[in-house]
Structure 1
Amino acid sequence: MTASVRDWTPEEDLLGFFGPDSVTWRVHADPVFSVGGLRALLLQALHPVAMDGVATFSEGFRSDPWPRLVRTAAYVDTLTFGTRREAVRAVRRVRGLHRRLAGVEPTSGRAYRVDDPDLLLWVHCCEVDSLLDVGLRGGVVRIADADRYVAEQVTAAVLVGCSEADVPRTVAELRHYLDGVRPSLALTPAARDALRLVVTPPMPAWVRWLTPARPAWGTLATLAVATLPQWARRMYSLPGFGVTDAAATAGLRAYRQAMLRLPQRARRSPIVWAGMARVGQAVPVSA
């Protein structure tokens, strides 16, 4: 799976690790991807050790979360839509940074490295669960596609440093993993900060008042919180967040339809567009 570049054909390198026929391309190119990314961040924050790593080593995260959010989105886009060489370069940068970082989580006293396998696996599974959830709710993919998406994402997990044998390959295995981790989760002060930053991120005054950024972000954040599992909303003391699961799904579908009316270049990143142009094939939009 992580074979040397010498083992790839030019065609394999061109298509990347997933390719335009994958469920991954379909989900990650869709407008609901942004909602899923925020949902994943909120799930990840409930792991005290994983969240301590973010709070400790993401410089300026509390005062200015935007650079980290942009870097994370660009990493996932490159891993998905880049060539294999581009994806591997991005992975090496991330793994090189993680390798140097270690700390002690204050509420548990656990000493950790940011690249501890269990932390990498937690981050991966939260991302897969979140992106699959919004993809299903939004009508981007069908239930029949769900196991295929989880299996495709094993590649992303192994590239970043997870042990292949530990990574869920089906929806059932993913659910089993998340259920097993839940007893170790907690709402730490750092997790509360993460919720605050997602719901009401700092913005310059001119952005708040002279652009539509604030209401647009409010829609994203509301949908991210509303689509969390009920147990996660309870942990954040937001058990209903004013909506039912059915209402959250309806809201997500309405958001997606509104975004699909925008010009295509306004709803996909340059990395996504470069990948599509490279393979000469657009990703089909689900009905």
Structure 2
Amino acid sequence: MTERFTLPRRRDLKPAEDYGFFGPGSVTWKVWSYPTSLTVGFQRAVVVEELDPALVTAVTHTYDIFKRPRTRYSRTLSYFALVAFGDTRTTAKAADVLVKVHSKAVGTEPLSGRPYDANDPDSQLWIHLTAWHSILYAYEKYGPGKLSPEEEARYWEECAVAAELQTCDPADVPRTREGVREYFERMRPQLVGSEMARNAMNHLLDSKVMLPDLRWPVRLVAEVISAFIDTATLATMPRWMRDMAGLPQSRLVDALIVPVMRMGFGFVHLSRRLELVLLALLSPRTVPIAGPVLLRVPPQNAETLTPAQARERYGYAKPSEAHPELRRKQKDKAHAGMRTSDEGLHESEPYLGTA
């Protein structure tokens, strides 16, 4: 069945159980709630990530990003929105289930012949930092501009807090802009513009594939907006990365898109309702997560927790230590040439949407 677009309504938004891991006053809420974040910022993250050979192999082994791009995009966006905005109970559960989901993505990376594992801490750190860096970069380039030094320091501290919900070690998260740059420089020799990576990046940079079924002329308007977002996303990527991925764009276009997108996002930010409509176009599943924050719907309990407090309260292990038996079985199956199980996929649907 074709998914139809429906306008989100405030009365359909339910209050969250609590403020989650950050809450009002956090730099995370300030940056991630701006319309640059879950559009250009998030698209940049999922495009850039594909340059890691292990990650692109894990992502493309089911071919779902090509067969069902909107579904895969929406599930990933929903998870990151949960981390930033979701209540602690739901987000802690989603983080635990995601370890099960990722346990399926194991095997051998074809270029190097080395094993890959979507739960590998290094792979998870790459995903995590690429996302948080891209979100901030888009905010700076097309939004209000740079954070104050104090706010930026808090942003990277909060990034480390969010890392506790993945299998990577929060201690490995840089706490400064310079540290983040050094991390990406260390990663650069490991990145490969393989045919697999280029295909995935070109596909994910076409945001029209993320749109729902829309009637003309709304479809035309949405496609024009998508084209501007795609151009803006590419303009955030360094030249060496674009060359590696085979994604050319002139310096003139790079320069011209900046004032256009600043004005566009600034206009959208004048109306929280309009921000919600834009989000609903890309991922309706994310609206119940981010909507209460965007429209300032107060939660049932005005409290925040740390990930450690949430795990203790709800009874979850650290992601790096969660479900060891399942992960071992999945690796054994993969190494034996058997199909890994889909355990966790259906369990994840109430939190991340249809698998």
- Same fold, TM exceeding 0.5? yes
The equivalent position to 1:278 in structure 2, one of 290, 295, 298, is 298
Residue of structure 1 in register with 2:122 after alignment? 118
Residue of structure 2 in register with 1:49 after alignment? 54
Distance 1:203-1:80 versus aligned 2 partners, 3 A rule:
closer
Residue of structure 2 in register with 1:173 after alignment? 179
Residue of structure 2 in register with 1:7 after alignment? none
Percent identical among aligned pairs is 31
Residue of structure 2 in register with 1:223 after alignment? 232
The equivalent position to 2:66 in structure 1, one of 39, 62, 65, is 62
Deviation of residue 271 (structure 1)? Answer: 1.4
Point out where structure 1 has 5 or more consecutive residues left out of the alignment.
Answer: 1-12, 282-287
Q: Once structures 1 and 2 are overlaid, which stretch shifts more, 248-257 or 174-183? A: 248-257
2:106 and 2:118 in contact (8 A); partners too:
yes
- The amino acid that maps onto 1:139 is P
The equivalent position to 1:149 in structure 2, one of 152, 155, 166, is 155
The answer to whether structure 1 residue 266 and structure 2 residue 280 are counterparts is no
| More RCO (CA 8 Å, sep 6+) | 2
- The amino acid that maps onto 1:49 is A
Equivalences, count: 268
SS in 1 for 2:107: strand
1:37 and 1:131 in contact (8 A); partners too:
yes
Q: Once structures 1 and 2 are overlaid, which stretch shifts more, 23-32 or 212-221? A: 212-221
The equivalent position to 2:76 in structure 1, one of 72, 78, 88, is 72
SS in 1 for 2:47: helix
Deviation of residue 259 (structure 1)? Answer: 2.1
Residue of structure 1 in register with 2:202 after alignment? 196
Structure-to-structure mapping, 1:225-264, within 5 angstroms: 225-238=234-247, 240-243=249-252, 246-261=255-270, 263-264=273-274
- The amino acid that maps onto 1:45 is E
Deviation track 1:93-135 (CA, whole Å, cap 9, x = no partner) reads: 2111112320111112121111111100111111111011011
Residue of structure 2 in register with 1:8 after alignment? none
Distance in 1 (alpha carbons) for counterparts of 2:45 and 2:148: 20
Distance in 1 (alpha carbons) for counterparts of 2:227 and 2:169: 37
The equivalent position to 1:102 in structure 2, one of 72, 86, 106, is 106
Distance in 2 (alpha carbons) for counterparts of 1:208 and 1:197: 23
2:78 and 2:289 in contact (8 A); partners too:
yes
Deviation of residue 205 (structure 1)? Answer: 11
Distance in 2 (alpha carbons) for counterparts of 1:26 and 1:106: 41
Distance 1:141-1:20 versus aligned 2 partners, 3 A rule:
farther
- CA-based RMSD of the aligned residues comes to 2.5
Q: Once structures 1 and 2 are overlaid, which stretch shifts more, 24-33 or 140-149? A: 140-149
Deviation of residue 47 (structure 1)? Answer: 0.8
Distance 1:31-1:116 versus aligned 2 partners, 3 A rule:
same
Distance 1:203-1:146 versus aligned 2 partners, 3 A rule:
closer
- The amino acid that maps onto 1:225 is L
Q: Once structures 1 and 2 are overlaid, which stretch shifts more, 142-151 or 216-225? A: 142-151
TM-score normalised by structure 1 residue count: 0.84
- The amino acid that maps onto 1:75 is Y
- The amino acid that maps onto 1:156 is A
Distance 1:141-1:90 versus aligned 2 partners, 3 A rule:
farther
Distance in 2 (alpha carbons) for counterparts of 1:208 and 1:107: 43
- The amino acid that maps onto 2:26 is S
- The amino acid that maps onto 1:46 is L
2:43 and 2:233 in contact (8 A); partners too:
yes
Deviation track 1:171-219 (CA, whole Å, cap 9, x = no partner) reads: 1111111000001111112221122212335479974965123222111
Residue of structure 2 in register with 1:39 after alignment? 44
| Structure of greater Rg | 2
TM-score normalised by structure 2 residue count: 0.69
Distance in 2 (alpha carbons) for counterparts of 1:178 and 1:207: 39
